[in-house]
A and B are shown apart, each in its own frame.
Chain A
């Protein structure tokens, strides 16, 4: 089922943070929500999550850093159980095992606290936790920026592979069009609180129609290397 929201807008102290925006997301869609720092992309991400949850849609959110998702005083097992409870789901070790294996979570010492796991594994755990309820949509906010590149690329590959067999749609929030261009087929481009352009990734890379999209496209990677 296609997800739709309309009239999302956010104002703070009379200042427009997000101008009225309507969106729709098809099942299995892979969308990049891109823009410069302060363009309103995370605000739109949060507004979208709230609006869909208000409609009763299961939406998962993965924040930028696992520090934002995991309590350092609680064990990994506790976090997992809390996520299951929040979704009104019973404890199911087989489901956990399947998600761990899909996301390459090599070890499962769940009695440890987050700091007993590497950062890359913590982030994979957070993504696995987000997928427990087979969400209609997973919103990932700069999911790789706290990871080093080898771990980041592996994590994105594993998530890509996992989502290929699911109906779950993905919105990847990022300032990095280079990353988005490798991972999504459509882009929403934000600038100063407005959704200024919406098109396929290829169209935006080759024929951007707004200044914001052109700037992102021009700065998408550092170097072009020979094949």
Chain B
């Protein structure tokens, strides 16, 4: 289980994260929502141990998070891959880093689960669509079966139809593999439809946490309400008629 306890991060004079506490159990998804600059991506960097904490602790089952080698799925799928390598080479890199062999049967099964034709992996990132590249990004995250996967705006580069299909694929894979997921997104519709808990981040602090149902029905804070109403106004959430 991921435990974030009283985490603060300072960047110069700026307090990027202020006393954040969250936890995610295996098989569960927490969605972190909030405006640009709220600290969402900083939180991911802190979990991955890429930036120093100025206070608090982040652990997995009591030990360091790096020990479990969590995976990250990035926002811009094409930019997440080395343009000179085939997608197959990029996907095998996490295995190489852990000195694990490529299990071709397992790879084929994962490809099928992500609706990826196996020969697509022989192409380079520039030769596939953005939707395909993002599914390869998810494939790369799953290849070592990590217990924790972090998703940084995983759908924002995709069109509305592909977004919903990809979200469903992630959820199906999570049911099979049981990983814990942290999704950072500004799309409240996605967060409400596919998470177990919503955490609203604002100016580096968690303003409120609740279940998606509680959040859509009655956000606790003014900002939570604004966020919910904006999602309705932009058509991400629809009111029953």
| Chain A residues engaging chain B, CB cutoff 8 angstroms | 36-38, 119, 144-145, 147-154, 156-157, 175-182, 215-216, 219-227
In Å, the complex CA distance between A180 and B193 comes to: 20
Residues of B within 8 A of A147 (CB): 36
B129 at the interface (CB under 8 A from A): yes
B36 and A119 within 8 A (CB): yes
Report 9 cross-chain contacts, Cβ distance below 8 Å, ordered by A residue.
Answer: A145-B156, A148-B186, A149-B188, A150-B35, A150-B226, A156-B234, A222-B164, A223-B189, A224-B238
In Å, the complex CA distance between A140 and B203 comes to: 30
Residues of A within 8 A of B234 (CB): 144, 149, 152-153, 156, 176, 178-179, 182
Given A220-B160, A223-B189, A223-B193, A180:B235 Cβ within 8 A = yes
B161 and A178 within 8 A (CB): no
B230 at the interface (CB under 8 A from A): yes
Residues of A within 8 A of B129 (CB): 37-38
Residues of B within 8 A of A226 (CB): 217, 239-240
B35 and A221 within 8 A (CB): no
B35 and A151 within 8 A (CB): yes
B116 at the interface (CB under 8 A from A): no
Of all chain B residues, the one with the shortest Cβ separation from A147 is: B36
Within 8 A of A (CB), among B161-217: 161-164, 186-190, 192-193, 216-217
Given A38-B129, A149-B230, A227:B239 Cβ within 8 A = yes
Chain B interface mostly: helix
Residues of A within 8 A of B236 (CB): 149, 178, 221-222
B158 at the interface (CB under 8 A from A): yes
In Å, the complex CA distance between A152 and B231 comes to: 10
Residues of B within 8 A of A227 (CB): 239-240
B239 and A177 within 8 A (CB): no
Residues of A within 8 A of B232 (CB): 225
Residues of B within 8 A of A219 (CB): 160-161, 163-164
Residues of A within 8 A of B190 (CB): 222
A149 and B238 within 8 A (CB): no
Residues of A within 8 A of B35 (CB): 148, 150-151
Q: Tell me the minimal C-beta distance from B29 to chain A in angstroms.
A: 14
In Å, the complex CA distance between A177 and B236 comes to: 9
B240 and A224 within 8 A (CB): yes
Centre residue among A175, A181, A216, A221 by max chain B CB count within 10 A = A221
Residues of B within 8 A of A178 (CB): 160, 189, 234-236, 238
Of all chain A residues, the one with the shortest Cβ separation from B189 is: A222
Residues of B within 8 A of A154 (CB): 230
In Å, the complex CA distance between A150 and B230 comes to: 5
Centre residue among B131, B193, B217, B236 by max chain A CB count within 10 A = B236
Residues of B within 8 A of A37 (CB): 129-131, 158-159, 162
Residues of A within 8 A of B156 (CB): 145
Of all chain B residues, the one with the shortest Cβ separation from A157 is: B233
Of all chain A residues, the one with the shortest Cβ separation from B215 is: A225
Residues of B within 8 A of A223 (CB): 189, 192-193, 216, 237-238
Residues of A within 8 A of B162 (CB): 36-37
Residues of B within 8 A of A182 (CB): 233-235
In Å, the complex CA distance between A221 and B186 comes to: 15
Of all chain A residues, the one with the shortest Cβ separation from B194 is: A222
Residues of A within 8 A of B230 (CB): 149-150, 152-154
Residues of B within 8 A of A215 (CB): 161
- Per CB-CB distance, the 9 closest pairs between chain A and chain B, nearest first, are A178-B235, A222-B189, A175-B159, A153-B230, A153-B233, A149-B230, A221-B238, A222-B193, A37-B159
